[in-house]
Chain A
């Protein structure tokens, strides 16, 4: 931390308006298996310092893998030089929202450091899962993927904040592929990725789930095609993770809303004039952003511009109620403070506005997942994630899934295939007429959310209880 403080002091002497320095270690172990072989096992340990400078109204960013003072000074000078060039084309005054000075530490609560466990342990579990899958009838392929990640950061800025964070992440998944009846279908087991220690991985039941997905992959091959037309859908939490990510999380990032992301990720229909008035969903829809969620993938204590993580509503009682806002854009919303969501993937990446942990709040009335299905005369129950696509304004969306069941007279009556549904995002959320209660709440999440230019991958948790949507256009995939 001493060198970071030193370089901040150096930049203060250069009359910058704001600067921060972030020492950032990215450590990751990946294991991929194919059938009963380890297809890939790699580890990376990449670290360095990124320095961000605001000179007048221009931003510059430069990074170095060397942490000695001479290298940091050269890097700071480079960032300042780039900021001066940016200032020459500045469109307006940059105003940063205030943030209290933080001298703080944050760490994921873990019992067992994943990087102190032999790789052979996880590889053995995944290969065993592969063996179980391959015993399934008509199975032609088993696969798995495991990511263990640790990100350590030290952060200092010209407002005298000094922050250290230490975050551990685990993402496991296994896959079965069956070939039968002229079809090839895959089924996955995606336990929720978590900020957690290795004890989380140890607690997962791969054997039972391997048997289940092998059987369901085969069953999918014999499923009948869905009918095209308007239908009632019940979506499980894993599936809803993806829909809320694409149709609520991204459109409410304020940088997108204001056109800053136009050239890559796109813009948003959820413009600021709609705040607190726009009916984003039905009255039972509450979507909550929460970077204080314990074990949440985006829960990191403090973000990469020194702002404390927070919790707030994006959609409250169906109404658009909030955005994801960084320090530079907070004043556009007349917000006194950013909401702690600016993150960078590695030391050489510029921190940008990233989606927080975002979940659909459970329904307020007692309702189990089973009761929700029993209350549905005719429909489709969709589990897991499949094909997904949405336009650059986040309106026209089309989703598939990992598995589909027909609902008839309140019962699941067999699998369907070739299901995709297509909707305008806010019409989709307005059609939500029931959400199971907190007993059915589950988490899911992603570690590969792409945004920025150059592209960066970020991680965030989602969660939901199963929810029902009426009159959604279903199409046969083929």
Chain B
């Protein structure tokens, strides 16, 4: 970690203001290049964000203060302000002391490998893509970013957790005059990036998306791309997986104890040291280790998400308020195999603006975007106008007929899936 800041944190923790001082350090070095109209003409930025959050507990209360003044005076001031805040508050019945070294021992540390980025390489990827797209007569928009970062959590109980990692994303939307198609390449450092294959596939699908045919809404068999599954699944998990909310009757899962909620083939779990899709092995807030655990398995809820407080109350292991990664176990079947298995249906490349409609029945709404294709006799057969859906995620999980090969994204690994009776309720004008 940062040597100077490291020394300051150690110095402050040697003489903690109370028996509860946690100092969390985050450093993110972002180079983000955004483009539209085949030109770098939007956000084209470099930023180095370095911040320390001080958390101080005092007789069952906790205050916090975040600063990017990383001088000794700056961090001491943050500790002072957090302490002042804690002293002013009423006692918290859910107060938790700092994570102990005993608890932190379970951390599944891993050392991601990623290389250096040159600006020439990054702008070169874009130059090549713009060239191919112009040749194809297509317009484009998107962004390319590299995001190395470090997270460290130190506390006065002796915990010293530190993790460095990186993710890089090239997100490319290509457009005809009346349609679009989007795909994204995720990696640590673009080392496995095959520009020709990536761009030529986007060009082919974008051409196929041209002149969407009119189609009426209704229930369709759909093949959902990994990113479409991710968007809907993450919204569902976020609203419904908190164990305390389930027990208090505030989750769709409250109504379904022990019930079958998914097809038996669906296995959704977390793996903090997943090679491609894990950001941290521990919580960046308190250094509590993320653990391996199943969320949905054999068609049923296996485990919800337990905060450290609530896990202690229930006598189970803490998973964290949100897990370190979400993995939907895939098969070896490529996307094309899933499409070839559908006689008459739709391929959804992407969803947009997903929002909860009914909490207790897990119903969400949203739109299709950037590629909605007709599937006829196992083949993509041109695009259709975009639809709005109102869909129960329980029905989606129960109606999943096929599962494809996982695609690793920033902190998920998700396969495409085939779903029967997906509920589109209205159409739009494009």
- Name A's B-contacting residues (CB within 8 A): 37-48, 58-65, 78-79, 81-83, 85-86, 88-91, 118-120, 123, 127, 140-141, 177, 179, 183-184, 259-264, 266, 269, 348, 350, 352, 387-393, 395-396, 398, 400, 418, 420, 422, 424, 452-454, 473, 475, 477-478
Q: Which chain B residue lies CB-closest to A60? A: B44
Residues of B within 8 A of A82 (CB): 44-46, 119
Q: Can you list 15 residue pairs at the A/B interface with Cβ under 8 Å? A: A38-B90, A45-B69, A46-B67, A58-B40, A60-B45, A61-B45, A65-B50, A82-B46, A82-B119, A263-B182, A348-B47, A389-B355, A390-B353, A391-B428, A400-B357
Q: Which chain A residue lies CB-closest to B36? A: A260
A262-B173, A454-B32, A478-B361 known; A43+B141 contact, CB < 8 A: no
Check if B198 is an interface residue, CB within 8 A of chain A. Answer: no
The residue among A38, A348, A393, A395 with the most chain B CB atoms within 10 A of its own CB is A38
**CB-based contact A391/B353 at 8 Å:** yes
- Interface SS of chain B: strand
Expressed in whole angstroms, the minimum distance between the Cβ of B409 and any Cβ of chain A is 16
B401-426 vs A, CB cutoff 8 Å, 1 = contact: the mask equals: 00000000000000000000000011
Q: Which chain B residue lies CB-closest to A454? A: B32
**One of A38, A266, A475 near B352 (C-beta < 8 A):** A266
**CB-based contact A389/B46 at 8 Å:** no
Expressed in whole angstroms, the minimum distance between the Cβ of B351 and any Cβ of chain A is 10
Check if B305 is an interface residue, CB within 8 A of chain A. Answer: no
Residues of B within 8 A of A44 (CB): 51, 65-67
**One of A59, A119, A478 near B41 (C-beta < 8 A):** A59
Residues of B within 8 A of A118 (CB): 88
**CB-based contact B366/A63 at 8 Å:** no
Closest 3 CB pairs of A and B: A396-B428, A91-B39, A262-B141
Residues of B within 8 A of A387 (CB): 355-357, 365
**CB-based contact B355/A262 at 8 Å:** no
Residues of A within 8 A of B116 (CB): none
Residues of A within 8 A of B126 (CB): 89
Bound-state Cα–Cα, A199 to B356, Å: 35
Residues of B within 8 A of A475 (CB): 390, 425
Check if B108 is an interface residue, CB within 8 A of chain A. Answer: no
**CB-based contact B40/A37 at 8 Å:** no
Check if B139 is an interface residue, CB within 8 A of chain A. Answer: yes
**CB-based contact B85/A41 at 8 Å:** yes
Residues of A within 8 A of B361 (CB): 478
**CB-based contact B81/A43 at 8 Å:** yes
Query: Which residues between 45 and 85 of chain B lie within 8 Å of chain A, taking CB atoms?
Result: 45-51, 53, 61-70, 78, 81, 85
Expressed in whole angstroms, the minimum distance between the Cβ of A72 and any Cβ of chain B is 14
**CB-based contact B367/A260 at 8 Å:** no
Expressed in whole angstroms, the minimum distance between the Cβ of B148 and any Cβ of chain A is 15
**CB-based contact A89/B173 at 8 Å:** no
Residues of B within 8 A of A424 (CB): 428-429
Check if B115 is an interface residue, CB within 8 A of chain A. Answer: no
**One of A45, A48, A350, A477 near B390 (C-beta < 8 A):** A477
**CB-based contact A90/B66 at 8 Å:** no
**CB-based contact B353/A46 at 8 Å:** no
**CB-based contact A41/B42 at 8 Å:** no
Bound-state Cα–Cα, A449 to B355, Å: 15
**CB-based contact A260/B130 at 8 Å:** no
Expressed in whole angstroms, the minimum distance between the Cβ of B52 and any Cβ of chain A is 11
Q: A58-B40, A259-B141, A352-B43 are in contact. List 16 more A-B contacts (CB 8 A).
A: A41-B62, A43-B65, A46-B51, A62-B47, A118-B88, A140-B250, A263-B143, A348-B47, A389-B355, A391-B428, A393-B429, A422-B425, A424-B428, A475-B425, A477-B390, A478-B358
**CB-based contact B30/A478 at 8 Å:** no
Residues of A within 8 A of B320 (CB): none
**One of B49, B94, B254, B386 near A348 (C-beta < 8 A):** B49
Expressed in whole angstroms, the minimum distance between the Cβ of A60 and any Cβ of chain B is 5
